[in-house]
Chain A
Amino acid sequence: MVNQSSNNSYTSGDAELAHIAVEHLSLTIGAKATNAILRDISFAVECGSLVGIVGPNGAGKSSLLRAIYCHRYDQPASLAGQVMIAGHPVHLMSRRERACKIAVVLQESALPFEVTVREVLATGLTPRKPLLSFTSKDDTRLIEGIAADLDLTRFIDRDFGSLSGGEKQRVLIARALVQQPQILLLDEPTNHLDIQHQIETLSLVRSLGVTVLLTIHDLNMAAAYCDQLLVLNKGQLVANGEPFQVLTSELIQDVFQVAADVAVIRNTYTHERRIRIAYDMPPSRTIAPGSAGERRK
């Protein structure tokens, strides 16, 4: 299990926790204006909060993250509006400056060659190290410390490709922490993980103490772990606020086209409000005796 008792903050010491402000962000890929991926999105994120971006497939969740870390598209893409981090527009920062402030955890892709966990973690040093430099004792200490906090020490010298999905995800988050960022962006960190590892990953992210933006599909998970939810639909921001304010059965019907019961549970002592969503699923199809489907069994 992940060691959550150490509630470390991994941000670089001098920098204040960042505050993200997205102003009138629009993104169009290709020449046609109909290819708008994001339409006039504005929101603000407070320091240290965990923000979930939810929405159906193709709503623009990943594109929103990409706009924040200034992804360069292969096709011509036009971006309007701006993203500010602690008052500084990201598109004016150099690649390196940006990499020192924002760490990104993408969905892991297959690696062509063997590479140890230690090496993967060491790549997190890239933005802060000159090209010609050796990994110093301090770097090793940083890497091993983070590995210990995330319970990775056991397999730090193993091949990254041989790890399970949950372990890989933890390694990639650890690498992002080696970057010592102010902001952590995660693209569907719980994808392909079983429920235990989903909970583990989100609890880990929650405990880091940096500002986090992540895309996520499971609304119950999003409601349980996020301080703020952004709901995207067809490139537009349709709701923004605390989970219990945002996730209503009307909104879920509207955005996801699924009927759902949303129960708000209020803790009598802490007055904390939590919600639980139950989806209305169509009854499973019954197979008539003697039909083709039955005979095939």
Chain B
Amino acid sequence: MKMPYGLTVAITFSVLCLSVIGAAAQGAFDLSLLNVFQGVIICPWTNDCALSPIEQQILTDIRLPRIFMALLTGAGLSITGAILQSVTRNPLADPYLFGISSGAALGAVLAMSAFTGAFSGFLAATGLSVVFNVTTGALAGGALSVFLMLTLAGKSAVQVEKLLLSGVAVSFMLSAFTSLVIYYSTPETAATLLFWLMGSFSGSNWADLILPLLAVVLGSGLFFIFSRWLVVMQLGEESAATLGVPVHKLRLGMLLVCSAVTAILVAEVGGIGFVGLMIPHIVRLLVGGQLHRVLLMSLLIGATFMIWVDVLAHSLLQDQVLPVGIVTSALGSLFFFIILKQRQSR
């Protein structure tokens, strides 16, 4: 039995909206759903707010930015995964497989260790920290990984197999460098870097959201614009070329957009794996393989999933926050197992 697509989208969208509210009511400090409703809907526009200033502050300055960061990350990584799977016609493709995440992580780790290390004074004194920070580091790292992958794969990366293999090679190489940086840093820095690598949404503020929001909105827009061509490409490259699609340029362009989106997200939240691989597959099981459906639903389900992963990371252990990356992978693989099992038994 399959639900009509429109209904599925409507339900998923409602679940996402409710998740934002529901997640805002979860946490160490007690806020009821009613409080959250008031805080989000009534307080910003009127003066008679039922919430105390401290409740108001926790809601708008701590929880909501964190939830929206989770939302954007989940949506961005999922749609990127869906696109990478369709341009390479490979169901195993995701930002990790291509080394984009590893590259961005390396750049970010280098930038972070420079801040805490010997260069921090120099950077602060010269004002270079504006140009050289974690975000630019991650962007540069992401770009480096794509550059390395394309160089390894040869001229304009015409063969998908070569592209995938060189992506894997680059991924391992850059991960090795990241480990090296961590190995040679002081224990305190190493701990910070390791924790950062496992991903976290804590400490996000509204200003941090701007760049990820732009990346996810612009990236998704481009993906939807080109989805007509991407569908043709899914059916085979040679036949796509006979239908007038510039196959190589399209693939290269999509790779670059995907790496930019991933790098920006990794820079803000650290390494969060498995979402880009898993969510598109779950979506295909729900609504079938039509690309525009897969893209839209990946955005919605990826966002919802990530919001609840973050809630779990905060509530699984008392007075402790688990790294999001651990929860994503553990929960994701379990969820995936169940779905595969169910499909087999059907």
Chain A residues packing against B (C-beta within 8 Å): 69, 71-72, 74, 95-96, 98-100, 102-104, 106, 108-109, 111-116, 119-120, 123-124, 126-127, 129, 131-133, 159, 179
Contact = CB atoms under 8 A, between A and B. Distances in A.
B241 A112 contact: no
Contacts, number: 79
Given A99-B242, A112-B90, A114-B284, A123 B290 contact: no
Given A74-B159, A127-B243, A127-B244, A115 B238 contact: no
B91 A102 contact: no
A72 B241 contact: yes
B243 A115 contact: no
Given A129-B228, A131-B228, A132-B225, A115 B242 contact: no
Nearest to A129: B228
Contacts of A98: 244
A106 B243 contact: no
Contacts of A132: 225, 228
B128 interface: no
Contacts of A114: 284, 288-289
B4 to A, nearest CB: 13
Contact of B288 (A104, A109, A116): A116
Interface in B238-297: 238-239, 241-246, 284, 288-290
Contacts of A116: 288-290
A104 B242 contact: yes
A103 B89 CA distance: 22
Given A112-B234, A114-B284, A124 B225 contact: no
B156 to A, nearest CB: 10
A115 B235 contact: yes
A124 B235 contact: no
B160 to A, nearest CB: 11
Contacts of B239: 104, 106
Contact of B290 (A99, A119, A126): A119
Interface of B: 85-86, 89-91, 158-159, 225-226, 228-229, 231-232, 234-236, 238-239, 241-246, 284, 288-290
A133 B284 CA distance: 24
By Cβ-Cβ distance, the 7 closest A-B pairs, closest first, are A99-B244, A114-B289, A104-B242, A127-B244, A113-B289, A96-B244, A126-B243
B241 A131 contact: no
B242 A113 contact: no
Given A106-B239, A126-B244, A131-B225, 12 more contacts: A95-B246, A104-B239, A108-B236, A112-B91, A113-B86, A113-B91, A113-B234, A115-B235, A115-B290, A116-B288, A116-B290, A119-B231
Nearest to B294: A113
A259 to B, nearest CB: 37
Contact of B242 (A102, A120, A129): A102
Contacts of B246: 95
B244 A111 contact: no
Contacts of B228: 126, 129, 131-133
Given A106-B236, A123-B231, A131-B225, A71 B241 contact: yes
A101 to B, nearest CB: 11
A131 B225 CA distance: 7
5 contacts: A111-B234, A111-B236, A113-B234, A115-B289, A126-B228
Contacts of A179: 243
Residue of B89, B225, B239 most packed against chain A (CB within 10 A): B239
Contact of A123 (B91, B241, B243): B243
Contact of A69 (B234, B242, B284): B242
B223 to A, nearest CB: 12
A71 B240 CA distance: 11
Contacts of B243: 99, 123-124, 126-127, 179
Most buried by B among A100, A103, A108, A115: A115
A74 B158 contact: yes
A71 B158 CA distance: 13
Nearest to A73: B158
Contacts of B235: 111, 115, 120, 123
B284 A113 contact: yes
A113 B294 CA distance: 11
Contacts of B158: 74
Contacts of A112: 85, 89-91, 234
A116 B290 CA distance: 8
A128 B34 CA distance: 54
Given A112-B89, A112-B90, A115-B289, A95 B244 contact: yes
A132 B226 CA distance: 8
A68 B241 CA distance: 13
A17 B162 CA distance: 42
Nearest to A104: B242
Contacts of A106: 236, 238-239, 242
Contacts of A104: 239, 242
B247 to A, nearest CB: 9
A61 to B, nearest CB: 16
A95 B60 CA distance: 53
Contact of B232 (A96, A126, A159): A126
A115 B290 CA distance: 6
Nearest to A118: B290
Nearest to A115: B289
A113 B280 CA distance: 11
Contacts of B234: 111-113, 115
A121 B85 CA distance: 22
A201 to B, nearest CB: 17
B141 to A, nearest CB: 29
A72 B155 CA distance: 13
Nearest to A103: B242
Contacts of A124: 243
